[in-house]
Amino acid sequence: RCASIFRQAREAFPDLDLSTAALAGADLSILTDEAEIGIVKMLASYPRIIEGAAAAHEPHRAAFFVHELASAFHSLWNKGKDSPQLRFVNQTDRKSTLARLAFVHAVRGVLASGLAVAGVAAPEEMRCRSLSAGAHKVRLTARANGSSIGGAWLVLEWIAP
């Protein structure tokens, strides 16, 4: 989802500088929604979560944190559907778009780091490639930019009752 937001931003603002330096200079005071602030607090707690998980030999803490962060981010994504001012890419407001892209960049980095703790690469894109009705097979492709998993396939199978 984070990668797709950046793709949308490049389409909406082809001349917008999306470098890490440009994102670091974004005015984050624009992020005032309760959900945004909650996620920022989660991001700030990440180093303590990892430290605690390592000290207690409880790696599941990192997995739970990643799940909670992804869920909170997904909720904010949905909130933007109802509230246009919360959309990550706002074609009429470059300043808020840049601030939200800096926010998304931070979320993306923490999610990727948390997944890496578990030995999992964060994919750049997930798309449904095929569906066969007989065995109910769903094939998804995950493409990770510059990652060793390249074009990995995830195949889920289940039997209809």
Q: Are the CB atoms for 124 and 116 separated by under 8 Å?
A: no
> Which pLDDT value is given to residue 100?
94
Q: Which residues of 12-51 are buried (b: 16+ CB within 10 A; e: fewer)?
A: ebeeeeeeeeebeebebebbeeebbeebeebbeebeebbe
Q: What is the pLDDT of residues 81-119, one digit of tens each?
A: 888 888 999 988 999 999 999 999 999 999 989 888 878
Q: What is the pLDDT of residues 29-76, one digit of tens each?
A: 999 999 999 999 999 999 999 999 999 999 889 999 999 999 999 999
Report in angstroms the alpha-carbon separations of 134 from 127, 137, 153, 156, 161: 21, 8, 19, 13, 13
Q: Which residue has the tokens 């005032």?
A: 32
> Which pLDDT value is given to residue 2?
85
> Which pLDDT value is given to residue 144?
42
Q: What is the pLDDT of residues 115-136, one digit of tens each?
A: 888 787 766 665 555 545 554 4
Residue 53's identity, in one-letter code, is A
Strand, helix or coil for residue 154: strand
E runs forming strands in the chain: 125-132, 137-143, 151-156
Q: Are the CB atoms for 105 and 42 separated by under 8 Å?
A: no
Handedness of CA 31, 114, 68, 51 (dihedral sign): negative
> Which pLDDT value is given to residue 121?
74
